[in-house]
Amino acid sequence: MSEMNLPGRLGNPELNFEDDPRADPRIAGVMAMMARAKGVKPPASDASYEQCLEYCVALEREGEMSHSLLLEMMPDFDEVESTVETIDGVDGNKITLFIERPKNQTGVLPGMVHMHGGGMVLEKAADPTYVRWRKSLAQAGMVIVGVEFRNGGGELGNYPFPAGLNDCATATQWTYANKERLDISTIITSGESGGGNLCIATALKAHKEGWSNQINGVYSMCPYISGSYLNPPPELASLVENNTYMLDGGMMANLVRVYDPNGEHTANPLAWPLHVIDDDLSGLPPHIISVNELDPLRDEGLAYYRKLMRAGVSAVARTVHGTPHAGDIAFVDIAPEVTAETLRSIHGFANSL
């Protein structure tokens, strides 16, 4: 295939998301406006740990500028009941859990432990995007436990790996121990981006430690699981093909530094699940790996799906076409039917277990 026929930046290194013919035109319009706004410039690839921490803080503050608008746009969710629990973490810390469920629930419903995005180093479960996502899932007929885990950086940092994973594992075990009280039938772990990493890593940790029976399934969205962003391997072509489409390699490399400051966990599957050995996957619960067509992270999610398949794990992969990273969550008011289809997929998966 000639270079001119290759997709995205493989064919045209200067191409932007909004000009990619594969892009959903509604989302492309919003992305074009976002591109005109001045964003936070990532530090150089050889930046210090302290500079990367400052970058996380700046990214988080930039994201918070849209919170008031997101809150205004959020539906009332009158049929959803919200409660908060505080539990003890394994490191002497406290973990806040946000629980969403349908009001007037009768009988048991499938449950989800939700881990939010942000590269494991920024953002919060209390942010409007994740509040809306959990409430939407609850409205669809599930009981959702959102984990406010410790971040590698930002306001809830600085706690590098494995702090956030420990909190997600503790929250999952708490949910299992309280299934009867919560009226939960089954439990899936789920999250997007960094949360897509953590929901997979929680299942791997449970498998390694002998409590994987507490997890009935994993639904990972646009998982950020390779850690290989400055010099991507050729098999992860989407890191070049879709580079700068919302995410770019330099930005992600800075976040990797915050999660693993000394680089000692580069090949640790609990930090970066794509590095797991196929044989260590055997016996895991069913998975769905959902990726976005125009996401730099697309191919690492698909590579993990193929590892699951080789290991004999029940697994399905789905690609949400026309969308950038986490586009089926981030653009709910722009492309509502795309979000609705993902909600149906998650609910159907949870009900099938």
* Mean pLDDT confidence for 56-75: 95
Residue 2 pLDDT more than 60?
no
Encode 29-64: b = buried (16+ Cβ within 10 Å), e = exposed.
Answer: ebbeeeeeeeebebbeeebeeeebbbbbbbbbeebe
CATH code of the domain covering residue 65: 3.40.50.1820
Q: Quick one: pLDDT at residue 222?
A: 98
Average pLDDT of the chain, as a whole number? 96
Residue 1 pLDDT more than 60?
no
Digit-coded pLDDT (tens) for 180-199: 999 999 999 999 999 999 99
Q: Which of 30-44, 89-103, 167-181, 219-233 has the lowest mean pLDDT?
A: 30-44
Closest Cα partner for 205 from 276, 303, 253? 276
Contact 118, 167 (CB under 8 A): no
Digit-coded pLDDT (tens) for 114-172: 999 999 999 999 999 999 999 999 999 999 999 999 999 999 999 999 999 999 999 99
Q: Where are the alpha helices (DSSP H) in the chain?
A: 8-11, 25-36, 49-64, 67-73, 128-139, 163-177, 179-182, 194-209, 238-241, 249-259, 298-310, 327-330, 336-352
* φ, ψ (nearest 5 deg) of residue 102: -65, 140
Q: DSSP code of 278?
A: G
| Residue 70 within a domain | yes
Domain total in the chain: 1
| Residue 271 within a domain | yes
Tokens of 31: 């992305």
| Residue 112 within a domain | yes
| Residue 15 within a domain | no
Q: DSSP code of 152?
A: S
| Residue 99 within a domain | yes
| Residue 284 within a domain | yes
| Residue 227 within a domain | yes
* Mean pLDDT confidence for 259-278: 97
Q: Quick one: pLDDT at residue 320?
A: 98
Q: Which domain holds residue 233?
A: 41-352
* Mean pLDDT confidence for 17-41: 91
Q: Which residues contact 262 (CB under 8 A, 6 or more apart)?
A: none
| Residue 32 within a domain | no
